[in-house]
Structure 1
Amino acid sequence: MFIVCGEALFDVFIGAESGRSLHLDAHPGGSPFNVAIGLARLGQPVSFLGGIARDMLGDRLHQVLAAEGVGTATVQRFDAPTTLGMVEVGADGVPHYAFYGNGAADRLITADALPLLDQAVRAIHLGSFATVVEPVASALEALVRRERDHRLIAYDPNIRLNVEPSVERWQDKVETLAGLAHFVKISDEDAHLLYAGTADDELAGRWLAAGARLVVMTRGGDGASAWNAQGRVDIAAPRVNVIDTVGAGDTFQAASLTWLAENDVLNPDALAGLDAERVRALLQFAAHSAALTCSRRGADLPRRAEVGAA
């Protein structure tokens, strides 16, 4: 079983204007929320660990998790608002975000309220702005420190400067969590934002030296790269008619974790020992899954039958 930790919110897509009216289209979202649903759709047992509001939007988030087959026993409910992520998709299909979430429920979990995990939990995934805003950031770091010797830790920074504008804060948390995690996935956009002038090989090598076993960098239409103790592997991106890229990175992460589970390599030593052929297979499976999400609007992650053989 997987535990996915982080924020749950509503993505509100900005549509056409009609007179003085602006058409809005709201969808449940948040990077970790999407990863949890992605894992469930790909046939993996998964539960969500995060704060959800006791309001009408929070009720809807809770209902969506349950309907998608994501466990909610580790969800904590709060008398606080639900975060809203306003999304405007550009002509190139790339989303631009503005977040409204100060004091929202997905930020309120504390370290002393962390649950004990069942022995069936094989891996924990965390990421995005829940790892930098307090008190939840300290709680998730405490969870990782408590569990990293017992389960695989996966991490995707998923930088959102419009939530936490301090690059230095992000760098500090990314360096800490990349050293604690066993599997680190980052987009080239995020990597170059935080580490301008640092070569990709140098960054991956630093994280491997700090404790990561497998580092993956996604490159959008240019494919993806991965590094472990065996070396570097690169793949090209599948061809796809891009509608938008919302949820593509979350799909890539959910599919990567699914491939590791299905191939019985969901442990740190196995990640370090994956040869180039198997790393390439992992990247291709994840990239194909992400391409399916890019071919439709919003974070509509694929189901296992759509993806095909791992």
Structure 2
Amino acid sequence: MQISDIQPLDYLVIGHITQDLVKGGVMLGGTASYSTMTAHALGLRTGLVTSCPKWLSLPEIAPIKTYRKYSQHATTFENIETDHGRQQVVHHCAAVIGAEDIPEEFINAAIIHLGPVANEVNPIIINNLPAASFIGLTPQGWMRIWGNDGHVQYRRWQTPDALLERADAVVISVEDVQGDEDLISEYAQKTRVLVVTEGFDGARVYWNGDIRHVSAPRVNVVDQTGAGDIFAAVFLARLHATQDPWTAAEQAVKLASQSVTRMGLAGIPTPEEIQDASIEILKGS
């Protein structure tokens, strides 16, 4: 294990750093990469609890206070384009992360973001999180299953109720639930704030029985990888700060939309983009 610092945290992400097999090599990925780096870019004291091999170099997250649960493999994804659309394959999976893996110095973070990508966060972890912490969920990794061939398939979230009831905000994509509007409505009724991201169409926010849509600006798309994780980190951070889901969603949509104009982790919001998005929201544009 490795702990890089013990300063109090504003934002803690729990989930696997991934290795994504791409044309020409390997790219760092996962909610643990994109959301952590986005929270750091927002100026928050940020931490990460993850699982990966000791040998895996993580220069991109060097500024982040990090605990690693060492494992033989890093969680490794490959996206294969087929005649029937994109097929995602899991080649390796790192160790499961439980409450016992969260360092004492990290546990009282103001915001705790559970971000599984490969069913790696033990759901009962929710019972051990501090009552005072703001809990955000991006549950896509609890909605995936794969067999011996590694081909990922959708499965309905098996144990959502306790997590939804405890969460202060939940962010899913319409693809995560296969476009099941009945399921989206069910989740919205069981949690405080639900956001459904819709790619180029922006996002829907469910709060206090109301639904609002935030449109996304048209941009030149280079790479959509990580956009949802960038959205989630901005949304959770701004919601915690302002208690206003509508404003938080507007800023998150703007910054996530800008992220897709660059490749991979280069899409993390820049200081200028963060400032501009904040100014635009204040102006009501």
TM over 0.5: yes
Q: 2:37 aligned with 1:45, yes or no?
A: no
Unaligned runs of 5+ in 1: 15-23
Residue type of the alignment partner of 2:199: G
Q: Distance in 1 between matches of 2:61 and 2:107?
A: 22
Question: In the alignment, what sits opposite 2:283?
Answer: none
**Closer/same/farther in 2, CA of residues 167 and 282 from structure 1, 3 Å limit:** same
Deviation at 1:118, TM superposition (A): 4.8
Q: How many equivalent pairs are there?
A: 261
Q: 2:263 aligned with 1:305, yes or no?
A: no
The alignment's C-alpha RMSD in Å is: 2.7
Question: In the alignment, what sits opposite 1:157?
Answer: 139
1:258-291 CA distances to partner (integer Å, 9 max, x unpaired)? 3235xx34xxxx4xxx4xxxx3322111011111
**Closer/same/farther in 2, CA of residues 98 and 118 from structure 1, 3 Å limit:** closer
Counterpart of 2:61 (choices 56, 62, 65) is 65
- Runs of 4+ in structure 1 displaced over 6 angstroms? none
Question: In the alignment, what sits opposite 1:143?
Answer: 125
Q: Distance in 2 between matches of 1:33 and 1:85?
A: 14
Is contact 1:148-1:180 (8 Å) kept?
no
SS in 1 for 2:175: helix
Question: In the alignment, what sits opposite 1:220?
Answer: 199
Counterpart of 1:205 (choices 172, 175, 188) is 188
Deviation at 1:173, TM superposition (A): 3.4
**Closer/same/farther in 2, CA of residues 172 and 252 from structure 1, 3 Å limit:** same
Deviation at 1:191, TM superposition (A): 2.4
**Closer/same/farther in 2, CA of residues 53 and 5 from structure 1, 3 Å limit:** same
Question: In the alignment, what sits opposite 2:176?
Answer: 190
Q: Distance in 1 between matches of 2:235 and 2:181?
A: 28
Is contact 1:32-1:126 (8 Å) kept?
no
Deviation at 1:199, TM superposition (A): 6.3
Q: Distance in 2 between matches of 1:191 and 1:155?
A: 15
**Closer/same/farther in 2, CA of residues 221 and 115 from structure 1, 3 Å limit:** same
Unaligned runs of 5+ in 2: 1-9, 279-285
Question: In the alignment, what sits opposite 2:21?
Answer: 12
Bigger helix share: 1
Give percent identity, aligned residues only.
23
SS in 1 for 2:254: helix
Scaled by the length of structure 1, the TM-score of the pair is 0.74
SS in 2 for 1:171: coil
**Closer/same/farther in 2, CA of residues 305 and 258 from structure 1, 3 Å limit:** farther
1:92-148 CA distances to partner (integer Å, 9 max, x unpaired)? xx965322114x3xx243444432245761010012335x24xxx32xx34321225
**Closer/same/farther in 2, CA of residues 184 and 65 from structure 1, 3 Å limit:** same
Counterpart of 2:92 (choices 73, 82, 101) is 101
